[in-house]
Amino acid sequence: MNKKITVLPGDGIGPEIVNEAIKVLNKVADKYGHSFDYKYVDIGGCSIDKFGVPITDEGMEKCKNSDSVLLGAVGGPKWDNVDPSVRPEKALLAVRKELGLFANLRPTKLFPQLADASPLKQEIVGGGIDLLIVRELTGGVYFGSRKTEEVNGEMVATDIMPYSESEIERIGRVGFETAMKRGKKLASVDKANVLDTSRLWRKTMHKLSEEYPEVEYSDILVDNTAMQLIKNPTQFDVLVTENMFGDILSDEASMLTGSIGMMPSASLSSGTLGMYEPIHGSAPDIAGMNIANPLGTILSAAMMLRYSFDMSAEADAIEAAVNKVLDDGYRTGDIMQDGCNKVTCSEMGDLVAERI
Ligand code: IPM
Ligand code: MG
């Protein structure tokens, strides 16, 4: 198969980790007889520096006209004080919105080899963590209107968090469908004791749950979810939630896996076009040092093969190669353990590619 991939390396460690994922994708292409055609587009701070905007219209068109998008990371302190209308993160949100990427899948899987790397006790994570966060990605407070204005002599800022029934139903369905393919357990996370959006969320989810009698459904408040993720994470299979709760809970959940550097994500539309990126940020403090962990990005490339290209054997091959590298005792600094071999970002990419 021939596939067009738009590559958005972005800022900080973005270019380094994306290179490693492409190394692995090229190995997959060789081995399985595919051809991947990459088009590079600047996004985030690097685009602001070159073009004055975090992504150009032309770049956005390239994303829309590809079979999938691979992203590194955007942002950094250098652009913290630019006008909010052109912040690096704006581009990421614009791509999500313009490509209709409403469903963000964030699998949280602890590789047993890394159980020691998790800050949680063995008795909590040792049994194996395998949960999936389904985050709504194109609605809520990220996309509602916002303003900062002077009222009675002081500044007042407002961010609106809107959700429509159809938006809730659309992501809710992804939650139920993914639960059906996994452990058939779905927890819907909300703040229905306070927010109207959450009350509508809960009502819509309950209605939907009638269509999925096989799924063991429950509602859980977001604050309690934050606690349960640390106290008893193995109780969860699939969690579905709105945009900001999903952002926060997925960073928290990443720590169950030992390092945020391990976590991939897929942002899916109603078609096959998707965007794939690690959930971590641009880590400007270690940018250019060749020490970042590329595994989250490599595992994101595996999700690309699985979800956008329907290449499940190839995706399995990448996941197995990552597993083998960890078995063989290779670690980047963030997941380093006694008795293991510490490797650089590019060495890690080589090691995974060799094992495809
Ligand atoms: C994420 C990131 C983004 C988000 C930022 C960079 C805008 O934290 O993908 O989780 O909040 O969605
Ligand atoms: Mg985040």
Say how far apart CA 182 and CA 70 lie, in whole Å: 25
Phi-psi region of 12 (alpha: psi -120 to 50; beta: other; left: phi over 0): left
- Mind listing the pLDDT tens digit for each residue in 199-230? 999 999 999 999 999 999 999 999 999 999 99
Share of the chain above pLDDT 70, in %: 100
What local confidence, expressed as pLDDT, does residue 77 receive? 95
Residue 286 carries which DSSP code?
Answer: G
Sheet harboring 103-109: ordered strands across? 35-40, 2-10, 68-73, 274-278, 264-268, 103-109, 130-136, 238-241, 185-190, 216-221
Structure confidence at residue 96 (pLDDT): 97
Q: Are residues 2 and 91 in the same domain?
A: yes
Q: Closest ligand 1 atom to the C-alpha of 277?
A: 9
CA distances from 260 to 83, 108, 121, 225, 252 (A): 29, 10, 17, 19, 9
> Which residue, 259, 262, 356, is CA-closest to 17?
262
- Annotated catalytic residue 64: no
Looking at 257, 285, 302, which one is the last position of a domain?
Answer: 257
Q: Does 349 reside within a domain?
A: yes
Please count the structural domains in the chain. 2
CATH of the domain at 144: 3.40.718.10
Q: How confident is residue 258, by pLDDT bands cut at 50, 70 and 90? A: confident
Q: Residue 126: pLDDT above 80? A: no
Nearest-atom index, ligand 1, CA of 104: 9
Helix count and strand count (H, E) for the chain: 12, 14
Pick from 92, 141, 142, 282 the residue to mutate for probing ligand 1's pocket: most ligand atoms within 8 Å of its CB.
Answer: 92
Is the Cβ–Cβ distance between 278 and 297 less than 8 Å? yes
By residue range, what is the domain housing residue 243?
Answer: 119-257
Per-residue pLDDT tens digits for 164-181: 999 999 999 999 999 999
- Last residue of one domain, picked from the residues 257, 287, 305: 257
User: Residue 251 in contact with residue 259, Cβ under 8 Å?
Assistant: no
Least confident of 4-18, 110-124, 227-241, 307-321: 110-124
C-alpha 23 to ligand 1 mean position (Å): 25
The distance between the two most distant Cα atoms of the chain, rounded to a whole number of Å, is 67
pLDDT digits 0-9 by tens, 267-292: 999 999 999 999 999 999 999 999 99
Pairing verdict, β 341-342 and 185-190: unpaired
One domain, residues 167 and 236? yes
| Same domain? 75 vs 179 | no
Instruction: Give which of 289, 207, 189, 303 is closest to 248, Cα–Cα.
Output: 189
Q: What's the token pair of residue 9?
A: 């390396």
Boundary residue ending a domain (205, 227, 257): 257
Q: Where are the extended beta strands (E) located within the chain?
A: 2-10, 35-40, 68-73, 103-109, 130-136, 146-151, 154-159, 185-190, 216-221, 238-241, 264-268, 274-278, 330-331, 341-342
Active site residue 251: yes
Q: Is residue 113 part of a domain?
A: no
